[in-house]
Amino acid sequence: MSDEGPSPLLPEPTPLQRHQRYDAWSPSLSIARLNAIHQETPFLVCDLDTIGRRYEELTGLLPGLAVFFAMKSNSAAPILRTIRSLGGSFEIASVAELRMAEAAGAAAADLLYSNPVKPPAHIAAAAAAGLTRFAFDSEAELRKLAEHAPGASVYARLRVADDTSLFPLSQKFGASVEAAGDLLLLARDLGLVPYGLTFHVGSQCTNAMAWERAVEQCAVVMRRLMRAGVRLEMLNLGGGLPARYTTPVPGVSLIAAVIGAALDRLPYRPPVLAAEPGRYLVAESGVLAATVIGIDDRRGDRWVYLDVGGYNGMMEAVQTGGRWHFPLLTSRPDHYRAASGTATVTGPSCDSSDTLFYGAALPTTLGLGDRVYIGTAGAYTSSYASSFNGFPPPTLLYVGAGPARLLPLPGGHRSDRSVAVAV
């Protein structure tokens, strides 16, 4: 998720605060239910109903919002079909994502291609498929779009403050307010349609005011364009809505209220109000199950080795240097009774940067063969997973009704290694 490493604002919970927050844990994925899943680990089980609840909460708070799920966060087919069945569409980053979105029933014309810098061949293939809306943040990208997707609708990505997010993005992407206005006017001269504005406050953004500031920057560009006779069709709020891990985050109702008030101060309301939530929709739906494959005492520190690590599912733990914590449960029958001790939790590969958590609180009774359940693991896990060192990505499982008619048959294996389970 990150292009710049973790934010300096990374919270530093005390060991006892860590892993103690289970308010985001789906009741459908209790320890007993997880223990009953007889599937080799690692597996990632997602509760499709959680996704439905998150989707409805967001669209209820911002009426008229068009949701374009950032499929990079979890592009598994049952997740995409669930979001499609709820009325959502997708934000894509590449032609491969376009094809997955189409396979989930979305028309190319309904997608947003929001990666600001795209390979020319991907632009041409997307345009040929009928996709018409593309992000950009530079003159070079605009010229590329004019050549490979003539007549396309383009939206400028603004560079906004992202210092209150865990994964900032604005070093790599975004045009200044001044440049965005000029570029949207240049788009018109190049035969493109100056369609809208977008921004990204950074992923896992924990300050509602970041959206307010960003919408205010959009207002400045909109006023400038109005003077040049251009009215925009779309304001796209991007991603960044936070999920609950182990430290408190603002609720989406607070963020939506701040956004709503900022929208009221715009010079006009573009007809399309869009957002590209990724983490917010899927993170809390998932639990990643791993097995303890080794335990050792190293220089007075308890090291717990799991069959899942940074490379086969927990890349964001690596990106944050093992300092960002996910809620943890275990398969131990005495999980809630046993004394808790701190541990360094690491992955199965021969690489030490594979380590997930330093100072994690786990039962002192945890032993070889026990499972560790990592909560809030539905986003940026399976989509990042590789088979480095020969350790496989998690098998994908689903619970919840979701769009029931679209689910694979119970127990039936799918080509994307997902299995429907009833627990």
Ligand X SMILES: Cc1ncc(COP(=O)(O)O)c(C=O)c1O
- The contact set with ligand X (CB under 6 A) reads 1, 70, 72-73, 91, 114, 200, 203, 238-241, 276-280
In this structure, the number of other CB atoms found within 10 A of the CB of residue 416 comes to 13
**Measured between alpha carbons, how far is 14 from 179 in angstroms, rounded to an integer?**
44
Instruction: Kindly state the smallest distance separating residue 287's Cβ from ligand X, in Å.
Output: 18
Residue 288 vs 345, nearer CB to ligand X: 288
Residue 120 CB coordination number (10 Å):
12
- Closer to ligand X at the Cβ: 68 or 373? 68
Q: Is the peptide bond before 42 cis (omega within 30 degrees of 0)?
A: yes
| Least distance in angstroms from the C-beta of 201 to ligand X | 8
Cα(156)–Cα(177) distance, rounded to whole angstroms? 10
Start-to-end CA span in the chain (Å): 31
Please, what is the minimum distance in Å from the beta carbon of residue 55 to ligand X? 13
Give exposure, 7-30, as e/b (b: 16+ Cβ within 10 Å).
beeebebebeebbebeebbbebbe
Distance CA 254, CA 260 (A): 10
- 3-class DSSP state of 127: helix
Q: How far is the CB of 3 from ligand X (least distance, A)?
A: 9
Nearer to ligand X by Cβ, of 181 and 238: the residue is 238
Q: Looking at beta carbons only, is 50 or 291 nearer to ligand X?
A: 50
Min dist CB 44 to ligand X, Å, is 16
- Bridge partners of 296, per DSSP, are 303
Q: Minimal CB distance to ligand X: which residue?
A: 239
Q: Residue 51 or residue 292: which is nearer to ligand X going by CB?
A: 51
Closest to ligand X by CB, 174 vs 359, is 174
CB of 275: closest distance to ligand X in angstroms?
8
3-class DSSP assignment, residue 73: helix
Nearer to ligand X, 88 or 238 (CB): 238
Q: At its nearest, how many Å lie between ligand X and the CB of residue 384?
A: 12
- Pair 307, 348: CB distance under 8 Å: yes
Helix residue ranges, H only, 5-154: 31-35, 48-61, 77-85, 95-103, 120-129, 139-148
Q: Which is nearer to ligand X, 70 or 407 (by Cβ)?
A: 70
Q: Give the C-alpha separation, 191 to 324, whole Å.
A: 46
In angstroms, give the least distance from the CB of 367 to ligand X: 36
Rounded CA-CA distance 281/355 in Å is: 26
Distance between CA 18 and CA 345 in Å, rounded? 13
- Shortest reach from residue 344's CB to ligand X, in Å: 28
Report the residue number, 173 or 311, with the smaller CB distance to ligand X. 173
Rounded CA gap, 368 and 355, in Å? Answer: 18
Q: Which is nearer to ligand X, 31 or 154 (CB)?
A: 154
Cα dihedral value 121, 127, 132, 137, nearest 10: 10
Alpha-carbon separation of residue 56 from 50, 85, 203, 281, 356 (angstroms): 10, 12, 21, 10, 32
Instruction: Work out how close the CB of 279 gets to ligand X at its nearest, in angstroms, rounded to a whole number.
Output: 4
CA 328/CA 291 separation, integer angstroms: 13
Q: Which is nearer to ligand X, 329 or 379 (CB)?
A: 379
* Smallest gap from residue 78 Cβ to ligand X (A): 19
